[in-house]
Structure 1
Amino acid sequence: MNDLSRLAHGVLFPALGRTYVTRWAKERIEAGLGGFVLFGKDISAGEQLRELTASLHALGDHVLLAIDEEGGDVNRLEDYGGTSVPGNHALGRLGDPQRTRQAAHQIGLSLVEAGIDWDLAPAVDTAVNPMSPNGIRCFGADRAQVSEHAAAWVGGLQDAGVSACAKHFPGHGLSGTDAHLGTPVVPLSRAELLDHYLDPFRSAISAGVDSIMVSHVRLTEIDEVPATISAAVLTGILRAELGFDGVVITDALEMHGIRDVAGLPEAAVRAIATGADALCLGAWAYQEDVAAAVDALVGAVRNGTLSEQRLFEANERISRLGNRPKPAATGHDDSVGQQLADDVVVVHGDPVLHGNPGLRGGRALVIRLDPTHSPAAGKSSWGVEQPLRDAGVDLEVVAVNGSTYNGDGMVRAELGQYRDEYGPDADVVVLIRSSHRFEWQAPILAQLRERCPQAVIVDMGVPGDDFADFRGWIQTFGAARVCAQAATRRLLGTWSPPPSSTSRTSTR
């Protein structure tokens, strides 16, 4: 394997695609592969993950293992030995950067236990657009607040010995487009970007963030192509104006935000040529995509499209990652996330299930309106069903989404049958997440307002619609496991605030 091929391999971070070390993975590590981004399908148990990461690390001197562990709705380890903490939206609402730092530190400690070197977090987009698909992953809509929490999150994670990655440069918050599905557009001038829009990234850089992820956002006043392959954005703004000299990694090159403009081999060459150092290939990018990217990079050097020095520089930057000292104390503290989740909850009206005056027993109908599943989240499970079942509540469940055939009819039929069987005052729980973003949910919620105002709404997303006209309304501001557990305690009436609690209750 020649030096040029090793340099090309060194900038690549594909998925693994299995819960074990595959033959192709061994071969590519021997060839100099930079490492892997691990996704949910690579993990089946905590012990399996630790064995996997140890095996991968043992195959090379500097095999970097990265993961998307943001906390909240975007997590990989919550069910596999990691810790559960509320996500950025909830942390922003709590408004205490020190607690944000604590949450990130616990995530970092759980990643160290799992053998992970590099966390592709935090998201420091500013959710100024209420229709943003990333709203729940943002610290808020106020740029100064986001900047403050971004620095705290970076510091907490990196103090645990894991490299952080501020994303998604230059920021998704103004667009309502999901980059997995299309190319987001941000029509801001260079002056507007430098004056305020990029402040959260400045803050992360000042906090010493090890890496920044560049997104597929198209800055129409700066360039005609996505930021991922724009020299004007990567070199002209991120490097020259913001002074960042750490690792720049691309968002996944399999996403439509870049794929609709340039296929993976072409995008790989253009991203490195314009200033990126590491290429995230994507959750479904394996051996064949690695081979195609290597061939493209080597070919680009040979035909003069890409300089070998640019590849060398990228490899040198990547070599700095994964070297942070680990704290002497080991083990994470799950009580941190539990307390944060309890403290951020807001309760309106009377949410306690009438069939559950004590601890166990009773019955409820759960109507779950599933939002469009974000590929970033990695898993689609959410809600209070399992915690309620664990508490002994007998559940009937009807779940619908935007593509469900006759979804409103399903809800109407199940609600009518349930109330006929158990009475008009039987407990009904309606689970939603950011319902204001999904037009198809409006007629179902209108139907429930008319027919069942005694239902309890559990909103686990970004606030939008007002549900004060229902008997009870619980807002968790995220769908992490600890958020579901906090909501369940309110439904069962088993939670009481400690004297110093900051959890909020609204009455009407």
Structure 2
Amino acid sequence: MSGDLSRLAMTVLHPGYEGTSVPDWLRRALGEGLGGVVLFARNDINAQLVRHLRAENPDTVVAIDEEGGAVTRLEVLAGSSFPGNRALGVVDDVTLTERVGRQIGRMLGELDITLNYAPDADVNSNPANPVIGIRSFGPAPDLVSRHTVAYVNGVQGAGVATCAKHFPGHGDTVTDSHLALPTVHASREVLFARDLPPFRAAITAGVRSIMSGHLLVPALDPSMPATLSRTAMTELLRGELGFDGMLVTDAIEMQAVAAMFTPGEIAVRALSAGVDAICVGLATEESLHAMRDTIVAAVRAGELPEERLAEAAARVLALSQWYGAQAALRDKARGDVDEGVGLEAARAALTTSGTARLDRAPLVVEVNTRLSKAVDPSTPTGITAALTALLPNTARLQLEPMGDLPDLASDGRPVVLVVHDAARYDWVRSTVAKALAVRPDVIVVDTGVPAPPGGAVHVATHGISRVSAQAAAEWLTQ
């Protein structure tokens, strides 16, 4: 095997791994030129871990999903210190969004992380969307555009690269691409007016990376998901929109593409389409080498031009070099501590109705809506913990989806019903209605996209985070 070809192939592969320490096979791969590593909560992320990665390859792109809100890898156990995109969109203060972005960038820069797979630049135009929802700044392209720019400016102003996702827009879908291939049924005109403006704005703002969405968009390409479509990745994103930064796939083990091709085939097709980096959420030494070998074989067979592979590897290295050149910005950001900005944003995002307040420990009934695969399963809503901190002896009861409510009529305690995305789920709205029928004084807290309020008190946090929960608990106990 040609050493140069092998190294180029390794440069475009960006895997995640299992475990809390860097495995030996990953160390070897980094020494062989592995271009990137994706970190997840399961890796117990800290500065020493990142140092171990960089000791093997100082130029590797260390990437993470730290959107804020529901999608956090660094604060998954306690909940994020930042309320998430929808909450920021509800407040609609771009200065506040930029401040939040800067603090996220500062946090990542202190760990020496190169790239944040954020912001989510999708326009959540379909209320039934199962995977975007509160991860989007909102349903309007102008709103999403201005906050995407503010977030990019905040994080990159702190010396860490950002990645706008999921091109060409995951907002108008009813399928989670982790589970199957979504189709965006929109004309080219609608795509340009609704879905593409935030990406165009991000490009103008200098976003360093864009992530492709595993989406079938027939108006662009009726046969291939966008990730694997030259029409979407090269002709549209590179050509018409003028993006020249690093283009990375969403994780290729997601069923939207994994059900169609092997990992190696996905990598070759994505590279041929114009993608530069292949994100693999969880890899092993065997799977990584298999992808590498498939890429090299495709070049040798004339299926993938060597020039295209070299161009992709060069864009990966260019992102790494950009990060290296931002050391002064990261040093400056370390001293720019804006500690309360997350809670400030969460408080401003609260939407409330009613006037009742809690004066004693309640029973918190958490309706366990299943969150999307993008959200780490251990991420807490935090409402019970936040109320317990203010009202000791607060009790908690968790209901599985569509589970039966307990006997609320005979329970003398105040009841707080915590739901998520009532606007999306008929069964959640039905659960709320049943609770209010037997206890009209039930307090409803919605941590997602809320339905119209009902009952004595309704609180919408517009996001799942530690600070969103704290803001709601403060309001309920004042």
Q: TM-score, normalised by structure 2?
A: 0.94
Cα 1:296–1:444, aligned 2, differ >3 Å: closer, same or farther? same
| Contact 1:83-1:334 within 8 A present in 2 as well | no
Shift of 1:191: 3.7
Q: Distance in 1 between matches of 2:173 and 2:108?
A: 31
Shift of 1:81: 10
Matches within 5 A, 1:398-437: 398-402=397-401, 407-408=403-404, 411-413=405-407, 415-416=408-409, 419=411, 423=412, 426-437=413-424
Shift of 1:316: 0.5
| Contact 1:83-1:333 within 8 A present in 2 as well | no
Q: Distance in 2 between matches of 1:146 and 1:83?
A: 21
Match of 1:466 in 2: 452
Amino acid at match of 2:417: V
Q: What per-residue deviation string (whole Å, max 9, x for no partner) do you get for residues 248-286 of structure 1?
A: 00000000111122221111110001100000011x333
Shift of 1:188: 2.5
Match of 2:139 in 1: 141
Q: What per-residue deviation string (whole Å, max 9, x for no partner) do you get for residues 198-250 of structure 1?
A: 11100000000000000101111221110010011111111111011111000
Matches within 5 A, 1:218-257: 218-223=216-221, 224-257=223-256
Determine which of 375, 378, 392 is the counterpart of 1:377.
Answer: 375
- Is 1:41 paired with 2:42? yes
Overall identity of the aligned pairs, in %: 39
**Matched residue of 1:444: which SS?**
helix
**Matched residue of 1:431: which SS?**
strand
Q: Distance in 1 between matches of 2:436 and 2:389?
A: 29
Matches within 5 A, 1:381-396: 381-396=380-395
| Contact 2:79-2:382 within 8 A present in 1 as well | no
| Contact 2:77-2:379 within 8 A present in 1 as well | no
Cα 1:442–1:459, aligned 2, differ >3 Å: closer, same or farther? closer
- Is 1:21 paired with 2:8? no
| Contact 2:89-2:144 within 8 A present in 1 as well | yes
Match of 1:450 in 2: 437
Amino acid at match of 1:467: P
Q: Distance in 2 between matches of 1:449 and 1:387?
A: 23
Determine which of 53, 71, 77 is the counterpart of 2:68.
Answer: 71
- Point out where structure 1 has 5 or more consecutive residues left out of the alignment: 356-362, 494-508
Match of 2:121 in 1: 124
Q: Distance in 1 between matches of 2:422 and 2:243?
A: 38
Match of 2:196 in 1: 198
**Matched residue of 1:489: which SS?**
helix
Cα 1:178–1:54, aligned 2, differ >3 Å: closer, same or farther? same
Match of 1:505 in 2: none
Amino acid at match of 1:472: V
| Contact 2:459-2:472 within 8 A present in 1 as well | yes
Match of 2:102 in 1: 105
Q: Distance in 2 between matches of 1:351 and 1:74?
A: 31
Amino acid at match of 2:244: D
Amino acid at match of 2:136: C
Match of 2:286 in 1: 288
Q: Distance in 1 between matches of 2:463 and 2:194?
A: 27
Q: Distance in 1 between matches of 2:230 and 2:278?
A: 16
Q: What per-residue deviation string (whole Å, max 9, x for no partner) do you get for residues 274-311 of structure 1?
A: 100000011x3332321221111011111111111111
Query: Which segments of structure 1 move beyond 4 Å, counting only runs of 4 or more?
Result: 79-83
| Contact 1:101-1:152 within 8 A present in 2 as well | yes
Amino acid at match of 1:480: S
Cα 1:139–1:151, aligned 2, differ >3 Å: closer, same or farther? same
Match of 2:265 in 1: 266
**Matched residue of 2:340: which SS?**
helix
Cα 1:298–1:437, aligned 2, differ >3 Å: closer, same or farther? same
| Contact 1:82-1:110 within 8 A present in 2 as well | no
| Contact 1:83-1:107 within 8 A present in 2 as well | no
Q: Distance in 2 between matches of 1:190 and 1:344?
A: 34
Shift of 1:352: 1.4
Amino acid at match of 2:442: A
Match of 1:335 in 2: 340
> More deviation in 304-313 or 441-450?
441-450
Amino acid at match of 1:433: H
Match of 1:54 in 2: 51
Q: What per-residue deviation string (whole Å, max 9, x for no partner) do you get for residues 346-389 of structure 1?
A: 2211241132xxxxxxx211111121222211233213111222
- Is 1:478 paired with 2:463? yes
Amino acid at match of 1:17: E
Q: Distance in 2 between matches of 1:287 and 1:221?
A: 38
Match of 2:210 in 1: 212
Q: What per-residue deviation string (whole Å, max 9, x for no partner) do you get for residues 130-188 of structure 1?
A: 11121101111111111111111111110100000000000011112111111111122
Shift of 1:456: 0.7
Amino acid at match of 1:428: V
Match of 1:346 in 2: 351
Q: Distance in 2 between matches of 1:375 and 1:351?
A: 36
Q: Distance in 2 between matches of 1:76 and 1:456?
A: 31
Shift of 1:393: 2.2
> More deviation in 26-35 or 377-386?
377-386
Match of 1:167 in 2: 165
| Contact 1:351-1:474 within 8 A present in 2 as well | no
Match of 2:305 in 1: 307
Q: Distance in 2 between matches of 1:315 and 1:433?
A: 42
| Contact 1:92-1:149 within 8 A present in 2 as well | yes
Shift of 1:196: 4.3
Q: What per-residue deviation string (whole Å, max 9, x for no partner) do you get for residues 455-508 of structure 1?
A: 111111112x2233x121111111111000101111221xxxxxxxxxxxxxxx
Q: Distance in 1 between matches of 2:185 and 2:458?
A: 37
Shift of 1:189: 3.0
| Contact 2:264-2:294 within 8 A present in 1 as well | yes
Q: How many residues align?
A: 467
**Matched residue of 1:186: which SS?**
coil
Cα RMSD over matched residues?
A: 1.8
**Matched residue of 1:132: which SS?**
coil
Match of 1:185 in 2: 183
Cα 1:475–1:287, aligned 2, differ >3 Å: closer, same or farther? same
Match of 1:500 in 2: none
